[in-house]
Amino acid sequence: MTARIILAKGREKSLLRKHPWIFSGAIAKMEGKASSGDTVDVCDSTGRWLAKAAFSPSSQIRARVWSFDPNESIDIDFFVRKLSQALKLRTWLAEKDNLDSYRLIAGESDGLPGITIDRFGQFLVLQLLSAGAEYQRPALTTALQQVFPDCHLYERSDVAVRKKEGLEPVQGVIAGDTPPALLPITEHGMKLLVDIQHGHKTGYYLDQRDSRFGLRRYSADAEVLNCFSYTGGFAVSALLGGCKSVTSVDTSQEALDIARQNITLNQLDLSKAEFLRDDVFKLLRRYRDEGKRFDVIVMDPPKFVENKNQLMGACRGYKDINMLAMQLLRPGGFLLTFSCSGLMTTDLFQKIIADAAVDAGRTAQFIEQFRQAADHPVSSAYPEGLYLKGFVCQVD
Ligand code: SAH
């Protein structure tokens, strides 16, 4: 018999809103035995059936919902349905925006908790982040092969969060060919090289696509500073927008080497591009002391906040780099600034930028807003899915 999770009284509220997580503290008792990743039934305190969920014995998120339909089996057909549904949005987007790469499955936001799948051309790159996702690996991969018979499957589950689920890191070919060392992809007409095997995350930050495109409109004749550049997507965009020069800064030499190749691949003028392997925090201070100035600065740091305890420190970090960036801008210059920390709300981030302007002794006007691209949708049941936000400020 299927094991049952019985929730404590009143703890069914989030599930009735179709939020997919069941925290350990919401559980009154467990009936029957379940192993890691097994599908269990979830019931309210009176025994009323609510959902089918994957059991995660090691995680604080003790179960993640697969389905709110009692008649739905979690099998190959279930994954085929979910993948096909997700593909509809991405197919529309790919045609509209001239893309061959996108996030196909954004976990909870696409009704598949713990599963991330990025498509780069004919390569599908999987991250299985929860016990349930790991348990369903055979059904999921079979479903992927049915829906995408011409694609190769590669896994990049080499991430720390798997530890919380009691899982080891995994990386390698699941089916088909090994990805090439650098795979060219297309984004809004730009060509970009992606290192699926060794790059960050699944190889590339697809979520910043719209912001990268947005930068073009601010770049004409500008001297651009591209902080936290990774493989130079913003730099290519700035050059396409007609910038005078673009300086890309990152601590990763591998990323900067690819950035340089990306400029050449798009037949852009490499003499306008500079690449610095440096710590952005230190470099901004040095530039300030040297009196260096720019017309446009992109500030796209990695995630500063993993949990609530780190939020205060992260606020200081964001304020610090944005203050320094504003000090480096010529009057009338543009700051494109981002936060990919889910715990940092859009409102709080805007306040931090406002504080940074005060500390910099400058005034900033918020003139445009960005968020993660549409292939990273936010489900009405899972508002936490909104994590990336950005502002364009004109700084006087
Ligand atoms: N803007 C990029 C994505 C940035 S991801 C894009 O559009 O693709 C964050 C990047 O910050 C990573 O490449 C990482 O190597 C780099 N990084 C992290 N800490 C850094 C630091 N202190 N100084 C410079 N780069 C850093």
User: Which ligand 1 atom sits closest to the C-alpha of 302?
Assistant: 9
For ligand 1, the distance from its centroid to the CA atom of residue 225, given in whole angstroms, is 13
Three-state SS string across the chain, please? CCCEEEECCCCCHHHHCCCCEEEHHHEEEEECCCCCCCEEEEECCCCCEEEEEEECCCCCEEEEEEECCCCCCCCHHHHHHHHHHHHHHHHHHHHHHCCCEEEEEEHHHHCCCCEEEEEECCEEEEEECCHHHHHCHHHHHHHHHHHCCCCEEEEEECCHHHHHHCCCCEEEEEECCCCCCCEEEEECCEEEEECCCCCCCCCCCHHHHHHHHHHHHHCCCCEEEEECCCCCHHHHHHHHCCCCEEEEEECCHHHHHHHHHHHHHCCCCHHHEEEEECCHHHHHHHHHHHCCCEEEEEECCCCCCCCHHHHHHHHHHHHHHHHHHHHHEEEEEEEEEEECCCCCCHHHHHHHHHHHHHHHCCCEEEEEEEECCCCCCCCCCCHHHCCCEEEEEEEC
Which residue has its alpha carbon closest to ligand 1 atom 11? 228
State the closest ligand 1 atom to the C-alpha of 250, by its place in the atom list counted from 1: 25
Q: In angstroms, what is the span from residue 301 Cα to ligand 1's centroid?
A: 6
Determine the distance from the C-alpha atom of residue 133 to the mean position of all C-alpha atoms in its chain, rounded to a whole number.
18
Q: What angle do CA 14, 19, 24 make, to 5 degrees?
A: 70
Backbone CA torsion sign across 190, 193, 196, 199:
negative
Q: What is the pTM of this model?
A: 0.96
Closest Cα to atom 18 of ligand 1:
302
pLDDT block averages, 10 residues each, the chain of length 396? 96 97 98 98 98 97 98 98 98 95 98 98 98 98 98 97 94 98 96 97 97 98 98 98 98 98 98 98 97 98 89 94 98 98 95 98 98 98 97 98
Q: Which atom of ligand 1 is nearest to the CA of 249?
A: 24
pLDDT attached to residue 305: 83
43, 243, 315, 340: which one is catalytic?
340
Per the listing, tokens 């350990």 go with 24
Where do we find the tokens 């790469």? Answer: 101
Bridge-partner residues for 191, per DSSP? 186
Ligand 1 in reach of 252 Cβ (< 6 A):
yes
Q: pLDDT value at position 251?
A: 98
Using an 8 Å Cβ cutoff, are 308 and 345 in contact? no
CA of 280 to the centre of ligand 1 (A): 9
CA–centroid distance, 55 to ligand 1, in Å, is 35
Q: In DSSP terms, which residues pair with 226 in a beta bridge?
A: 248, 298
Q: Note the pLDDT of residue 358.
A: 98
**Distance, CA of 246 to CA of 294 (rounded, Å):** 10
Residue 230 near ligand 1, beta carbon < 6 Å? yes
pLDDT at 1: 84
pLDDT reported for residue 306: 82
Handedness of CA 81, 86, 89, 91 (dihedral sign): negative
d(CA 257, CA 264): 11
